[in-house]
Amino acid sequence: MTATTKTSANGKIQGTGPGGRITRDDLANKLRAITGDKGSDESGSMTNSPVLVGVLVGGLVVVAYLLGRRRSKSGRALVEIRRI
């Protein structure tokens, strides 16, 4: 549904609603025209980005943990705690 706003002779903006009122569709269409939004075709790739970053960060944490464990096994200090 395409709705357009028009400017009347007295300089006021008129919408496509009853009595020249600006409707929600008028606002949505104008916002899409300003931002260049083409619809929901591009939104799928944007929603996967935070998930991908989270998986990469989690993988890096696991790798750092495993490398740290491997390194600490060779020079592990044994500490004995005695109760008095």
Instruction: For the full predicted model, state whether its pTM sits above 0.95.
Output: no
Q: What is the pLDDT of residue 83?
A: 75
Q: Is the pLDDT of residue 59 over 60?
A: yes
Q: What is the pLDDT of residue 50?
A: 87
Over residues 6-44, the pLDDT tens digits come to 666 677 777 888 888 888 998 888 888 888 766 655 555
The residue assigned the tokens 């990469």 is: 56
Q: Structural domain boundaries of the chain?
A: 6-35
Q: What is the DSSP string of 25-80?
A: HHHHHHHHHHHT---SSSHHHHHHHHHHHHHHHHHHHHHHHHHHHHHHHHTPPP--
Specify whether the CB–CB gap between 26 and 15 falls below 8 A: yes
Q: What's the CA gap between 70 and 22, in Å, rounded?
A: 67
**Could you tell me what percent of the chain has a pLDDT over 90?**
15
